[in-house]
Structure 1
Amino acid sequence: MESKPVVKHILLGKFKQDITPGRIEDLINGYANLVNLIEPMKSFEWGEDVSVENLQGGFTHVFESTFDSLEGRDAYISHPVHVEYANELLSALEKILVIDYKPSRII
């Protein structure tokens, strides 16, 4: 059985030192709410770094969005709600890394 194509959009970030925990929580909630506002965005997960290997390069948070296709990801990227939110988030981040990939399944 063939699985449906999926695209993962990963954002690693480090918030600026002057961004309060309350503001970080608001920004995370805003990011999570995008899944309710932008149809191509199928799911959202996030978390804080808990690595003991110290290889995270200073990044403290990871955000993962899932899309059914590259076209869905593209629609999300250019969606006005995303653009407005991204400008808000980016102004609060000291470091950012974004990577998109199509997972390969090894069974």
Structure 2
Amino acid sequence: MKTITLILALTFASLLSAFADHHGEKKANFRHVVCFKFKADATPEQIKAIEKAFGELPSKIDTIKGYEWGTSVGDKEKAKGFTHCFVVTFADKAGLDVYIPHAAHQAFVKQLKPLLDDVFVFDFVAQ
């Protein structure tokens, strides 16, 4: 009986420790939202190349913890010509501070700029 009690106590302590470790982890919650409005003469092929290039950044910049994107499916008037939205997640602002000047990001910006009519950037900490 003492052995079973000891095993149960150790198991409980181990689970409690794992639970505390998991919930004590710092969540990646710094979001960098970027919306693009492309020039009227940007071709579908050029836009696809931008989508692909942006999608490759997480494999090149290790401070990126998450990446999502999509195209507008809502009211075009409310979107004000913005067609693409990208959400990049970092652990904290320091991750963004590494990302912005990173050579891979700067090469992407150089590829993007000639096609871009406007950009909207919004950074926030997820609650």
Q: Return structure 1 stretches of 4+ with deviation > 4 angstroms.
A: none
Correspondence 1:1-107 to 2 at 5 A: 1=23, 4-52=27-75, 54-104=77-127
Distance 1:53 1:87 in 2: 27
TM-score (norm 2): 0.75
Q: How far has the Cα of 1:12 moved from its partner?
A: 0.8
Gaps of 5+ in 2: 1-22
CA offsets 1:25-65 (integer angstroms, 9 cap, x no match): 11110000000001001221111111137321221110111
Aligned residues: 104
- Structure with the largest fraction of strand: 1
For structure 1, which segment, 11-20 or 47-56, has the greater mean C-alpha deviation from structure 2 after superposition?
A: 47-56
Structure number with the bigger relative contact order (C-alpha 8 A, sep ≥ 6) is 1
Distance 2:110 2:121 in 1: 15
TM-score (norm 1): 0.88
- Structure with the largest fraction of helix: 2
Distance 2:66 2:60 in 1: 12
